[in-house]
Structure 1
Amino acid sequence: MLQEAPQPGCRTGSESVHQSAPADNRNEATGLARFATQLREMLGAIVRAEDDRTLAQRTAFIAFFIRASSAALALVSQILLARWLGSHEYGIFAFAFVTLVLVGGLIPLGFPTAGQRFIAEYTEAGRPDLTRGYVFGSRLFVVGVGTLVAVVGAAGLWLFSERIGGDYVLPLYLVLVCLPVYALMEVQDGIARNYSWIDLALALPYLVRPLSILAIVGGTILVTGHADAVTAGYALIAAVWITGMAQLILLDIRLGRRLPKGRRSYAWKGWTVTALPIFLVESFYMLLTNTDVLVVSLYMGPADVGVYYAAVKVLALVSFVPFAVTAASAHKYAEYNTAGDVARLQSFVRDTVRWTFWPALLASLAILVAGKPLLWLFGPDFSAGYPLLFILVIGLMARAMVGPVDRVLNMLGQQNACAIVYAGAFALNLALNFTLIPRFGLSGAAWATSTALIVESILLFFVAKSRLGLHVFVLDSRR
């Protein structure tokens, strides 16, 4: 059959396909090149930090990197400690360490977080005298409180040592030695964040300190062939004091370059009135996130405490995401609020919520996939904690959906309402722990914590919406 010749200017089907393919390839290449250019420009802007948003992104990225590295380091160190000490001794050390984190985190009485608000406000108002007063006075104050708590705690241990399990007494004495410097580092962390010195705020406590503990315990094993919870306690003392003094010296050097010497002014009444509600918020948060371990130790043995603590430590890898965002953003909320820049504040809050949730979601999914092998690394017995990860992650995701809402409330003068919410969440968590752990064991502790976090997140969302008019939720259609 004869085929009809194509008319001039017309293309056959095969010609059209073959000629359109290069065009598609060119379009695809152009799209990739455009994406690469945009990505390069975005990363360049973050590196240069030409405005507050990109500075916050760069600070958050550095904090994220340090916190992610520290989380990986902490996981490795906890695995090695569990292997070296055994589940029984590891459970004792875990209890002592949680006690240090809990008490040491409360001793500063809210001054680290309040400092992120006050220093930002004083800088905006041009009051370096108040800044100098806060930097000096807050550090001296927490060291004094830490020393007092350590002395009172030692007396309490001496009086009630018979009622405390014999295995726990000496490690708890060792923890008391750490308290003044541990509290000092908490305040210095808050001061350093105001100047975006995130390396100084985080590297020593989250990288150098765990490495020091690991090196000391490992060295002891190499020399003596043995280590226990007491050995780890002595290592903890050395690590806390070395990193604390190093941070003190480095912070003073940097402050000398940024903050000129001059008269100090003190506003103790205003500082205290603001800091105490924040202290209540942080107290209830610390209790909320550590009560489960403490209550488990009341009902179950050290080995069970070790299994539960290992599961918590594995899932703690997710916590570096909100930690990094908060480190970069808290003082900016106060700065924009003081300047009356509502639009900028609302936009920045939306950004920080998104920066919190989506990376936290990806990290959680990755941990759920790899959780069992990670727990097995602690020892064969620790794999029993794998089902706990699925329960605990529910609460973490609920909390990530509202981002750093607690810091938003604290920086914008709503610390009292935030404290009430945290008090309610802690009371609920405590009641659920005492109710569920005797019946369901470790799963009961996990459900108690997750339920309390869900309730807390819902209440914080409504407080931010009703008190500040801020829609602090990851799904915000009003963009």
Structure 2
Amino acid sequence: MAGSALAGGTGVLVTWIVARTLGAEEAGAFFAATAAFVLAGGLAKLGTHTGLVYWPARLRATGRSHLLGACLRTGIPPVAGFSLVLAGAMWLAAPEIARLTATESPHIAAGHTAGLRVLAVFLPLQALTDVLLTVTRGYRIMRPTVLLDRVLRSVLQLLAVSAAGVATLWVTASLPMFALAWAAPYLPVAILAGWAARRAYTGNRPAGPTAERAERRRLRRDFWIFTGPRAVAAVAQLALQRVDVLLVAALGGLAPAAIYAVAGRFVVLIQFANQGLSQSVQPRLAEALSTGDRQAANRLYQTATGWLVLVTWPINLLVIACAPYYLRIFGDDYAAGRPVVLVLAAAMLVATGCGMVDMVLAMAGRTSLNLGNVLAALAVMIGLDLLLIPRAGALGAAAGLACAVVVNNLLPLAQVYRSTGLHPFGTGTRAAALLSLGCFGLLPAVAGALTGLLPALAVAVPAYCAGAWLLRRELGLAAFARRSQLEES
């Protein structure tokens, strides 16, 4: 969670530097280019970021650890090959992507094309970094993901983009230069991720019999039956997060796209918190469901959801209260994004209240349902975007994303409960929600009208910390104390 907070914070700072250094149109082109890069990277991973956690956890839990090597060889080489194909496709398609997303700004199309091609060079490194770190998480090792992806990559991106921003004091700001600064950290991180994955495998290599050919063949078949739907679902999930920026750029212009990207940047903090908890819980949940221990699985789900609400609801509620001040940090032009912030923050309250429900559905083996849910949500978003963006610009995109987020959480929530009996609404979730609403919703609304926002927040923060301490048992925070005691002993 600390690593996720750092990554989210550096992401906001990178956005601020880009927004303040580049003009609104060039900033919009940068955000559109990175959105295309992330979408292509998600497709290149072929769903293995789920399969390479689910299958190692399942193999160990069911006494088939001798198949772990075959599992890794099944998942990693296809990602390496496909990522190279997609990188070539992105390089060749860069002029057309630039033309589509910069229809109202043809004068920056050349720089936009160059930026896309810079990112295409680093696409295989991005895909391999994520997959190799997934391998380490499949062994219940979280440290490489935190240190390499959350800390090292994020800090290097911030330093490199900051250097590019400083360089504009002497040279003209260049979109390709910022794209290179943003993508270059994937090179050292990919090398270190490969070393970490190899170390995790060799350090946990089973001493039992080697896998027979029939077992390996059966594993490959089962691996891709499980992972195939996740490959499409993962791309659709990334599309939910990124394609709206491309649609705003194409249908509304690059300047509205920049406003939309900046106004919704706080969502990255929420996504990183969700991702950090999901990645920690994922192998344990897979093991519990593989052995039929529904009680342990439900406890994991509810505790993690309580922690997610405890961390993210204050962020959402603070963003709602501070939206006018938060947006002006990026520049006066971005203050128009306040309605976007309000719509997206309300949707994220619903999403985080459901916890990491799509991951729970996938770990229960229901990847086909997961795929259907994400495609339904994506259809809702694209349909509403096409209808609303030409009329309302960035706010129309926010409405489309908000409706898609609600669909993508409530549908799997009903399916998880119906198929497994699991749900996120435990004591900890209720306590975290009420504490957040009281301290960062009700208190600023009432006291803020009388004394102003800053004095109200000066009371809300210590009240929230005190409430979390008093409710530590209900929130499951005692688990951290037990962990510390175990490490000391």
Residue identity opposite 1:131 in structure 2: L
Bigger mean CA offset, 259-268 vs 194-203: 259-268
Residue identity opposite 2:196 in structure 1: L
Asked if residue 141 in structure 1 is aligned to residue 78 in structure 2, the reply is yes
Q: What is the aligned counterpart of 2:260 among 308, 329, 335?
A: 308
Give distance in 2, aligned partners of 1:159 and 1:69: 35
Instruction: Using the TM superposition, give the Cα deviation of residue 381 of structure 1 relative to its aligned residue in structure 2, in angstroms.
Output: 1.3
Aligned to 2:133: 189
Q: What is the aligned counterpart of 1:232 among 148, 173, 178?
A: 178
Residue identity opposite 2:141 in structure 1: W
Q: Deviations over 1:11-35 (max 9, x none)?
A: xxxxxxxxxxxxxxxxxxxxxxxxx
Aligned to 2:441: none
Bigger mean CA offset, 231-240 vs 413-422: 231-240
Asked if residue 172 in structure 1 is aligned to residue 109 in structure 2, the reply is no
Give distance in 2, aligned partners of 1:424 and 1:160: 25
Bigger mean CA offset, 108-117 vs 261-270: 261-270
Instruction: Using the TM superposition, give the Cα deviation of residue 329 of structure 1 relative to its aligned residue in structure 2, in angstroms.
Output: 0.7
RMSD: 2.4
Q: 1:263/1:371 Cα in 2 relative to 1: closer, same or farther (>3 Å)? A: farther
Give distance in 2, aligned partners of 1:263 and 1:169: 50
Instruction: Using the TM superposition, give the Cα deviation of residue 347 of structure 1 relative to its aligned residue in structure 2, in angstroms.
Output: 2.1
Asked if residue 103 in structure 1 is aligned to residue 40 in structure 2, the reply is yes
Q: Would the aligned equivalents of 2:46 and 2:231 in 1 still touch at CA under 8 Å?
A: yes
Aligned to 1:328: 280
Q: Would the aligned equivalents of 1:102 and 1:290 in 2 still touch at CA under 8 Å?
A: yes
Aligned to 2:93: 156
Q: What is the aligned counterpart of 1:243 among 182, 189, 194?
A: 189
Asked if residue 428 in structure 1 is aligned to residue 375 in structure 2, the reply is no
Instruction: Using the TM superposition, give the Cα deviation of residue 241 of structure 1 relative to its aligned residue in structure 2, in angstroms.
Output: 1.6
SS at 1:413 equivalent: coil
TM-score (norm 2): 0.79
Q: What is the aligned counterpart of 2:204 among 258, 274, 281?
A: 258
Q: Would the aligned equivalents of 2:101 and 2:246 in 1 still touch at CA under 8 Å?
A: no
Alignment of 1:192-231 (within 5 A): 192-220=136-164, 222=166, 224-231=170-177
Q: Would the aligned equivalents of 1:217 and 1:227 in 2 still touch at CA under 8 Å?
A: no
Q: Would the aligned equivalents of 2:244 and 2:397 in 1 still touch at CA under 8 Å?
A: yes
Q: What is the aligned counterpart of 1:443 among 379, 395, 398?
A: 395
Residue identity opposite 1:123 in structure 2: R
Q: What is the aligned counterpart of 2:245 among 283, 286, 293?
A: 293
Give distance in 2, aligned partners of 1:420 and 1:368: 32
Instruction: Using the TM superposition, give the Cα deviation of residue 240 of structure 1 relative to its aligned residue in structure 2, in angstroms.
Output: 1.6
Gaps of 5+ in 2: 103-108, 431-473, 475-489
Q: 1:333/1:254 Cα in 2 relative to 1: closer, same or farther (>3 Å)? A: closer
Instruction: Using the TM superposition, give the Cα deviation of residue 274 of structure 1 relative to its aligned residue in structure 2, in angstroms.
Output: 0.4
Residue identity opposite 1:427 in structure 2: A
Give distance in 2, aligned partners of 1:213 and 1:343: 42
Q: Would the aligned equivalents of 2:87 and 2:121 in 1 still touch at CA under 8 Å?
A: yes
Q: Would the aligned equivalents of 2:53 and 2:135 in 1 still touch at CA under 8 Å?
A: yes
Q: Would the aligned equivalents of 1:177 and 1:237 in 2 still touch at CA under 8 Å?
A: no
SS at 1:173 equivalent: helix
Give distance in 2, aligned partners of 1:454 and 1:93: 28
Give distance in 2, aligned partners of 1:452 and 1:78: 24
Query: What is the count of residue pairs matched by the alignment?
Result: 415
SS at 1:109 equivalent: coil
Instruction: Using the TM superposition, give the Cα deviation of residue 474 of structure 1 relative to its aligned residue in structure 2, in angstroms.
Output: 5.7
Give distance in 2, aligned partners of 1:462 and 1:159: 41
Q: Would the aligned equivalents of 1:314 and 1:371 in 2 still touch at CA under 8 Å?
A: no
Q: 1:227/1:161 Cα in 2 relative to 1: closer, same or farther (>3 Å)? A: closer
Q: Deviations over 1:114-168 (max 9, x none)?
A: 1111000111233333212223442222111100111233333467876674242
SS at 1:213 equivalent: helix
SS at 1:378 equivalent: coil
Residue identity opposite 1:96 in structure 2: A
Give distance in 2, aligned partners of 1:239 and 1:251: 18
Give distance in 2, aligned partners of 1:308 and 1:74: 15
Asked if residue 86 in structure 1 is aligned to residue 38 in structure 2, the reply is no
Give distance in 1, aligned partners of 2:40 and 2:176: 19
Q: Would the aligned equivalents of 2:273 and 2:308 in 1 still touch at CA under 8 Å?
A: yes
Residue identity opposite 2:157 in structure 1: I
Give distance in 1, aligned partners of 2:117 and 2:369: 36
Percent sequence identity over aligned pairs: 22
Asked if residue 128 in structure 1 is aligned to residue 65 in structure 2, the reply is yes
Q: Would the aligned equivalents of 2:66 and 2:206 in 1 still touch at CA under 8 Å?
A: no
Q: Would the aligned equivalents of 1:401 and 1:474 in 2 still touch at CA under 8 Å?
A: no
Instruction: Using the TM superposition, give the Cα deviation of residue 306 of structure 1 relative to its aligned residue in structure 2, in angstroms.
Output: 1.2
Q: Deviations over 1:291-319 (max 9, x none)?
A: 22111011222222111111121232222
Give distance in 2, aligned partners of 1:70 and 1:347: 28
Asked if residue 347 in structure 1 is aligned to residue 293 in structure 2, the reply is no
Aligned to 2:356: 404
Instruction: Using the TM superposition, give the Cα deviation of residue 71 of structure 1 relative to its aligned residue in structure 2, in angstroms.
Output: 1.0
